[in-house]
Structure 1
């Protein structure tokens, strides 16, 4: 038997997962059977064909005293498998408890129906499936089972198919790989694959037999059990999870810390069992509360805890007993089946686990597809990638006047392209098939288990891909987080949870730092608009610092960050700092763009407002009139920037009790806002409020 080892290392194996180990076991079993066959044939020990063994069970696990009932699963199994010839599949994450439910169901079946054969088949590989069938053949004492010329698998199939035999229940455990049961006709090299009968054809459909399948893969489960024969096992609820923890810890159970620990482990049975084993092993130095403290300490410590494999008699001996390894095996399977789906998993692991928006994922796919097209058309490099000022439409910061920045908001592009054949839908389906991603009741929104995300990140780190995906995530967020103007509030709000960690750490690379500053500027802008001044100020100071260092103090992008920071400072009553910032932006824009450029006029208007706040009405009025005249000439009377200048001048007059002049300007601005922005726009409503206040003041004066 050829093996890739020398004689000294032959008996040494790192894991029962190794292909050489499984090959050796298969050959030894085959050798044993042939030897038994030779002995029986020589001495006439072949069983009588009329002999039928008593019903038996090949379940390799005893009933579990720590089993926690999951009533919804049990009820579904009892109903689904009540029909003769029925099939049912339990589908879910590795470690979610599928096999434990199947073990419990198998033992209850034997208890309730002693005349039923209960047959356990390890279905993760073809070799283990065949080995299980050979064990069944031995237990059934099927004639000719040792004859090398006889197909033992077919013998078992024929017995299972016979209506003359007793009822049987088969459990196909870990039927995760579609190709184990439905092999492709051609291998990847294009050569004809084995003509051996597909294993799926060795599963009889007969009235006296039922089949229960456990699988991580919805596709495999559907093919084996049918579309309506599937139950998706979810994580435990809090009560079930704490029950499991209590049973595993026994006298070491800490009721106060148990609920928090179960929640931190996301109610995943394998994670709870793993944690309990670790606590028991290290008791009394380790308890529920100390484990939880270590778990929350940092990602490195968390990975260390989740990576520990202390063994579990309740699980298949070839299966990993740590959450990290269990799920990483799934990740690697996905990478083998569909690389783009593994890439999507890598990307999604960096989002907040809740409310992951599909439109952002689709923008990533669109960009990837565009880059592929550019690679195929190298001559298309005509410099069209000037997202130059992306966030930074210099006219961004006019006070309440955020409507003027719609030119940089072309990311709206992406809610409406759900039908694009970009591969996203197929990749999402793959991840959903493995229960790694779930849809929500809200259309276009997905969610993941935080623990799955953590293990995916640990996997990326282990293969050296984490830095690349962090960079990709930064660029995606920077490109999709829009300016903070009113039209974009819903998108900004959607993305806020997903950038929470991203904005904390400045990238070392200059290009990445520039993208980071762009993200911080837009996030700070949105924070200012919705009243989150303190956080907005912190973000914008970072953005200004990075842009000054990388792009220079005179850069239009830098001045955009400076201008928005000035607005935030003004909103907090920090008028002197705000004035200094506005004067810096105005001076630089006058030099770079000229006195009549719309962006320069925006700085003029902003400076006028902060001067007004400090009671410097004369200079404020001069600045306001300059901004109004300039906007009318450059943009026209009905442009939002022009209307905002009118509104600002009206408010200045209002503050000076020049009610007639203020009222006339308010009416002009209000009519314009209603027409251009709509009656419910915040700028329109602000103008209405100011006009109403003036009207009350006028009435009181009379």
Structure 2
């Protein structure tokens, strides 16, 4: 810097000039030097101020855990901390509150608010700080104003300061990628904005971002970030009450806040809409919200304006989140595709394994390891933007219902929603397993996610087979594992109707639907309709596949069960022997289907009073199932129960009681105490106890069976009426 060449002022004894010389009558100029005041010296006297562009919010609801974390993290010298989370969860509002707290508690601390969503917004904020500090040379076009502000911040003599970097969602704003020159021989490195964020002992920086990765990089690691979630129920209610103009509008608030996932922006938006309407209550808003998807999207798109949100930020929930969707779509298309698929699942309990299997199926390389790596990166990206979360069970993901809905709305507007609907249906058709006992855990995992399929209209011809398969498999599961016969019947009827319409009455998929509906009707005692449907299925399969085809014989077996239940034993025996003979020959003695036919024939013979042969066949079925399936398998327990029944018929009460207790304990453990099969075992044990004169125990069990059947099956269901008769008999005894 050039030294000053002028000096004016008196010379005292304190000033010593060594060896000066001047001719007679001449003058001498002295430079008692020093530099002019620096820009820091000129601006140092500025009284500390705040550039936070928002006034304190009188409606703010304290989130003490988060504010305490910020205070602790930002207390250190040169500290950095970051709040991350979905758009609209209140990150900026918490930062505003913290900023005002700092000014109130420490008036000698500067507070700088820097909008950092783009490079231009960051530069604009720094220029504003330079103006407020009145930094020299700030208006010189050749001077780097960002460096001027950064240097001032570095200088500890300027005092303490706190900076809020708001909406830092794009890491390339602070760390731009290198760009190649035209001849690709060199790269041009742009100065990253991050260099203008000083790490000086007198300052701290609080960052808000939707991206965990971006926040972690600027804050110095993931240990310095705090995820902001939706409010809890109490906080949400306080916010809603604060925002409402009239207390009378609060009616039904709890249900509305739950539907809004306790998201602050959605709550504020709803309250503003209710205030504007005047006559509408929270319950009325919820009715509108639930009316249909179109109305819901309209409400979530409504922009009421908010003085405490950045002017560039939308106050519409849909548009706020669509910014995240679009950023992911631009940066990592495969992650956007994964989010699109996940939006068709139930938002809670999404199994990671099924998403991973889909990722492998669409991988272009066919390399499973590479596909898994891509999937893991995609999942991490969605988690980094807080669009999904991993639960305590690390193999399960979740997303807010509103995020799911807004993703679907974005797909409908900017992408191909029908494509992802087809992808989801195809995935479920491949992955929803048969209702075998070994698959029950997987069936239960997937069941909530297919609810949308049986609450909507059947798809067109090219998709109806997949749709019907999912419905039939799910119906069979809830019938066998949960004993929910009415719900299973509804699903089976829906699938059958859709297949008849799109595929025709003689299509094998349609005939399978008829057979499945017959099975659930039989379980409810609706034998006439069940028999008609079962005969239709047998005749159709015989015509299409032949009389000896395995699928045909499965339908023959089912028809035999239908006839046995109606005491049409001669035809039932004939059909059962037909199925058994073929299965023994083609599948072998120990095949599960063969053992099923053995058990079914034994049942028919028991009804005919042929107890010796029935007992022999039941023992054979039980031994085979214990060996092939294990002692606790539901089919094995059915054989235990069947053998107990035929032994009771023969007066072999001790062994019958022992087997009935075994069946009851096994079913309670595997199926639950209220499952219809468990209640059947309760009734069976009561019967054999009554036969032995143990009336008190029999009465107690009969009452349990009756109460359970009334609750699970209804008062007019055949097994319920059987329990009424059984209880009456034991009381009479």
Q: Check whether TM > 0.5.
A: yes
Residues 175 and 214 in structure 1, CA contact (< 8 A), matched pair in contact too: yes
Aligned to 2:553: 601
What is the Cα deviation at residue 418 of structure 1? 8.8
- Of 509, 512, 519, which aligns to 2:463? 512
Compared CA separation, residues 419 and 657, structure 1 to 2 (3 A): farther
1:146-167 Cα offsets, whole Å, 9 max, x none, are 1222111111111111222201
* 1:447 paired to 2:398: yes
Aligned to 1:633: 585
What is the Cα deviation at residue 585 of structure 1? 2.3
What is the Cα deviation at residue 610 of structure 1? 1.2
Compared CA separation, residues 581 and 281, structure 1 to 2 (3 A): closer
* 1:623 paired to 2:618: no
What is the Cα deviation at residue 663 of structure 1? 1.4
CA distance in 1, matches of 2:635, 2:207: 60
Other structure's SS at 1:121 match? strand
What does 1:157-556 align with in structure 2 at a 5 Å threshold?
Answer: 157-186=150-179, 195-225=189-219, 226-252=221-247, 254-283=249-278, 285-369=279-363, 372=364, 420-421=371-372, 423-530=374-481, 531-556=483-508
CA distance in 2, matches of 1:662, 1:455: 61
Compared CA separation, residues 144 and 687, structure 1 to 2 (3 A): same
CA distance in 2, matches of 1:112, 1:442: 43
Aligned to 1:143: 136
- Of 76, 82, 87, which aligns to 2:80? 87
Compared CA separation, residues 590 and 291, structure 1 to 2 (3 A): closer
1:658-700 Cα offsets, whole Å, 9 max, x none, are 2222211111110000111111110000110121232233236
Aligned to 2:705: none
> Which stretch of structure 1 is more off in the superposition, 347-356 or 571-580?
571-580
Aligned to 1:592: 544
CA distance in 2, matches of 1:271, 1:51: 43
Other structure's SS at 1:699 match? coil
What is the Cα deviation at residue 508 of structure 1? 4.6
1:269-321 Cα offsets, whole Å, 9 max, x none, are 111111111222221x2332322221121111111111111210011111111
CA distance in 2, matches of 1:80, 1:418: 39
CA distance in 1, matches of 2:88, 2:331: 21
CA distance in 1, matches of 2:226, 2:195: 23
Residues 88 and 263 in structure 2, CA contact (< 8 A), matched pair in contact too: yes
Other structure's SS at 1:96 match? coil
Between the two proteins, the alignment pairs up a number of residues equal to 615
What is the Cα deviation at residue 592 of structure 1? 3.3
Other structure's SS at 1:528 match? helix
Aligned to 1:57: 50
CA distance in 1, matches of 2:402, 2:214: 24
Other structure's SS at 2:251 match? helix
CA distance in 2, matches of 1:368, 1:77: 43
* 1:645 paired to 2:597: yes
Other structure's SS at 1:501 match? helix
CA distance in 1, matches of 2:537, 2:270: 57
Residues 261 and 402 in structure 2, CA contact (< 8 A), matched pair in contact too: yes
CA distance in 2, matches of 1:433, 1:188: 32
Other structure's SS at 1:89 match? strand
Other structure's SS at 2:208 match? strand
What is the Cα deviation at residue 462 of structure 1? 1.5
Other structure's SS at 2:132 match? helix
Compared CA separation, residues 333 and 193, structure 1 to 2 (3 A): farther
Compared CA separation, residues 117 and 253, structure 1 to 2 (3 A): farther
1:466-502 Cα offsets, whole Å, 9 max, x none, are 2222222222222221222222222221111111112
Residues 524 and 539 in structure 1, CA contact (< 8 A), matched pair in contact too: yes
1:337-385 Cα offsets, whole Å, 9 max, x none, are 111111111111111110011122122212212xx359x9xxxxxxxxx
CA distance in 2, matches of 1:80, 1:48: 28
CA distance in 1, matches of 2:551, 2:243: 67
What is the Cα deviation at residue 560 of structure 1? 2.4
Q: Which structure has the bigger radius of gyration?
A: 2
CA distance in 2, matches of 1:290, 1:634: 65
Other structure's SS at 2:651 match? helix
What is the Cα deviation at residue 201 of structure 1? 1.3
> Which stretch of structure 1 is more off in the superposition, 555-564 or 99-108?
555-564
Residues 541 and 565 in structure 1, CA contact (< 8 A), matched pair in contact too: yes
What is the Cα deviation at residue 569 of structure 1? 1.7
What is the Cα deviation at residue 641 of structure 1? 0.9
1:476-535 Cα offsets, whole Å, 9 max, x none, are 222221222222222221111111112232345311122212222212222332322222
Aligned to 1:400: none
Other structure's SS at 2:111 match? strand
1:441-483 Cα offsets, whole Å, 9 max, x none, are 1131110000111111111111252222222222222222122
Aligned to 1:128: 121
Aligned to 2:21: none
CA distance in 2, matches of 1:209, 1:670: 78
Residues 270 and 321 in structure 1, CA contact (< 8 A), matched pair in contact too: yes
CA distance in 1, matches of 2:494, 2:182: 53
1:62-113 Cα offsets, whole Å, 9 max, x none, are 1111111001101111111111111000001111100010011011111111
* 1:557 paired to 2:509: yes
What is the Cα deviation at residue 624 of structure 1? 1.5
Other structure's SS at 2:164 match? strand
Aligned alpha-carbon RMSD (Å): 2.4
The gaps in structure 2 that reach 5 residues or longer are 1-35, 655-733
